[in-house]
Structures are given as C-alpha cells and as structure tokens.
Amino acid sequence: MNEAIIVSDSSPLHYLILIKAVDLLPSLAREILIPPTVERELTNDATPILVREWIASPPEWLRILTPQNPFESFGLDAGEAEAIALATELKIGPILIDERKGFRVAKACGLEPIGILAILEVCAAKRQIDFDEYISRLLATNFRLHDRLIRDARQRLQRS
C-alpha cells in the first residue's frame, strides 16, 4: 500500500465511482482526505444515487477533514477551493482535481494536481486495469475529455 495522502475534490471521486474505479485509489494513497464541502457535493440530491450511496458508507481510507483557516475562493466552486485550502494547509502536494481552472489554481498554489486520466494511466501502467475499457466507461458518462489527451496517454502507455 502506498504511504501517500491525497486531498480530493468531488469531481474525481464522483466519476471514479460511476466508472467503478474508485477502489483503485488505495493503490495510489493510503488515505484520501476531503473537506466537508466536497462531502456535501457528493450527497447532493442532483448527484447520481450510486455516488450518494458510496459516500453514505465511505471506505476506511476516506477521511473528512475541515480546513482550519478560511479559504480563498479563487473564483472556483466551493468544493475545489476548500480542497485546495485543505491541501495547502496540511502541506499535502497531491490533489485530485479535474476542472481546468481548479487544476491551474492548484498548480499555482504549489500543489500537484492529478486528474482522472492520470489515475487511469498510472493504474494501467501497473497492469491493474485495461486503459481503453475504463476510458470507454468514462466517456459513457458526461465527463468531458479531449481526444488528444487520451491519445497522448495511450502513447505513453505503449512506451512503458
């Protein structure tokens, strides 16, 4: 088991749950931290039932932690801003975040943003999953991903 701790925004968890890949996370980190706002986003009535059921009985490796310091919104949604604040406060580099603006803000704050595509690529490189199968699952949702990014990931996997 990896000894890393990762902070997460709601979107990566949401889609990893939908594509039945959330159980890959313990191979990347021993613990995933989310702030309360992310938990609320995952329990929202508009969130798919599968996601709400998962967060209602979270795994042992998921912990909800409130940042102690007020956070800047950075023009982001509350979950992204709070996740960035938590990671910054705890000096945890890796952060699961997919939205382009949130990714840029996290990077500007000195964090190491990781998107779903990178998670799938790392797990495929470790031979834990079939990359194309999980990309197909992801594309069957409303998650938006540029073809070029998928092509680049496939090329990196072929070289590894």
| Residue extents of the structural domains in the chain | 5-116
Give the residue among 54, 27, 19 at the shortest CA–CA distance from 38: 54
The two tokens of residue 40 are 């609320």
Domain spanning 5-116: which superfamily? 5'-nuclease (3.40.50.1010)
pLDDT given for residue 1 in this prediction: 42
pLDDT given for residue 3 in this prediction: 65
* CA 123 – CA 141 distance, rounded (Å): 20
Inter-residue contact 13 to 83 (CB < 8 Å): no
pLDDT given for residue 120 in this prediction: 97
User: Which residue type is seen at 51?
Assistant: V
What's the pTM value of the predicted model, to 2 decimals? 0.93
Low-confidence stretches of the chain (pLDDT beneath 70): 1-3, 70-71
The two tokens of residue 122 are 């790392």
